[in-house]
Amino acid sequence: MNRVAAVWRRIPAWLTDLLAVAVAAIDAFLYNGEPDAATVVTCVVASAAMLIRRRWPLVAFLLTLPAALVANILAAPVIALFALSVRTRNRWLLVVCGGLFAAAEAIGWPITDQLVANQNWTFVTFVYQLATAAAPILLGQLVQIAADLRARIDEIEATKRHERELYAQSLLARERNQLAREMHDVVSHQVSLIAVQAGALQVTAPDEETRGAAASIRALSSTTLDELRSMVTLLRAAGTESPGLAPQPTVADLPGLIAASGLPVTFSGELPDDLGSSSQRAIYRTVQEALTNARKHAPGAPVSVHLWSNETSYGVTVVNGRATEPPLLLPSSRLGLIGLRERAELLGGSLSSGATEGGFHIHLVLPRTPA
């Protein structure tokens, strides 16, 4: 059945139109009675109507009714009725058209003679012609339903392909995020330790050559950390709607961070206007980590974020009070404060943290002149 339908769809439309005209003309040529002008004209019009049955199927069917009434032809009205059934979803229209076809075939011409002389036979013929009309109508509806099913199957297949693509993209994004986390948690930590130890060696080295090598190692470690962070950002952004490096946070983004935290935060103080991007990121990440820890370990506690500066240094102090709700049992890598401390040391500063009376504090100090 599918092969027959495929072969039929490959036949050119103009060829099927000419075939329909030829079948209608042959059926009209086989008319048994004496052809007159009305019969010839109606049969020619009915045969020509096959050419417009695709675009105007209802008009084509109505043009075949006179020939069905006068010459009692079957091919043209049946073909037109099938074309109408394929293209319309109005079931009542099909019922009316089937009734008109059966009436035209049963009554014949002249109308008065047939109705008066053969009333019983006319009714029986009408019933038979209704059955004849039902065949192209049902077949046309079947073709229409099959087309709808094919369209629905194609839509389902397209949806499944789209879902598979989305699933593959989600797996790829998950792997990239996992790789980014591994790089951040492992490589960044190790490189930071290398930089710190290189800085210590630079201070304690007995000769100038060793101090120079330690300074180079520390500088290279700092550069590697910056490139690593850019690579991690790129990995996390890959596969999203806005690929590429995302803008790095600054001190100006602190109010938005605090507002999005959902904590009762008191924000005060200010910083110098000429801060470098690395220092601004360090302050932002310190506040971010402090708010995260307060949300996890001291939910509901009041938090104070104070920006400060003096002649030699600047920084931020974050203090949270006693928790008013049970702590959230969330997983933790326990490397947040270590990473903040290493970041501060790379910038020549320091970070201290510890418990207070019922709470916790984080104090970041950065020098005005980088080390």
Of 76, 79, 65, 75, the residue nearest 111 (C-alpha): 65
Say if residue 26 is in the same domain as residue 74: yes
The region that residue 56 occupies, defined by phi over 0 for left and psi between -120 and 50 for alpha, beta otherwise, is beta
Residue at which a domain ends, from 237, 269, 290: 237
Residue 17, domain member (yes or no): yes
**Rounded Cα gap, residues 74 and 85, in angstroms:** 16
Residue 131, domain member (yes or no): no
CATH number for 268:
3.30.565.10
Residue at which a domain ends, from 80, 99, 117: 117
Residue 134, domain member (yes or no): no
Helix (H, G, I), strand (E, B) or coil at 109: coil
Centre a 10 Å sphere on the Cβ of residue 80 and count the other Cβ atoms it contains.
30
Residue 223, domain member (yes or no): yes
Residue 106, domain member (yes or no): yes
Q: Is the dihedral of CA 38, 43, 44, 49 positive or negative?
A: positive
Peptide bond into 302 cis (omega under 30): no
Amino acid at 107: I
Terminal-residue alpha carbon distance, the chain: 82
Tell me which residue range forms the domain holding 303: 251-367
Say if residue 233 is in the same domain as residue 280: no
pLDDT tens per residue, the chain (371 residues)?
455 555 556 677 778 878 888 887 887 777 656 667 777 888 888 888 888 888 898 888 888 888 888 877 888 888 889 988 888 888 898 888 888 888 888 776 666 555 555 555 667 777 888 888 888 889 888 988 988 898 889 889 988 888 888 888 888 777 776 676 666 656 666 676 677 677 777 778 788 888 788 887 877 777 777 777 666 666 666 555 444 444 667 888 888 888 877 788 899 998 888 888 888 888 988 998 888 888 778 877 899 999 999 988 999 999 998 877 776 544 444 567 887 888 888 888 999 988 888 789 999 999 987 65
Structure token digits, residue 115: 């109705």
Q: At 331, phi and psi to the nearest 5?
A: -65, 150
Say if residue 278 is in the same domain as residue 363: yes
Residue 46, domain member (yes or no): yes
Say if residue 104 is in the same domain as residue 204: no
Residue 163, domain member (yes or no): no
Say if residue 225 is in the same domain as residue 329: no
Question: How many structural domains comprise the chain?
Answer: 3
Say if residue 266 is in the same domain as residue 192: no
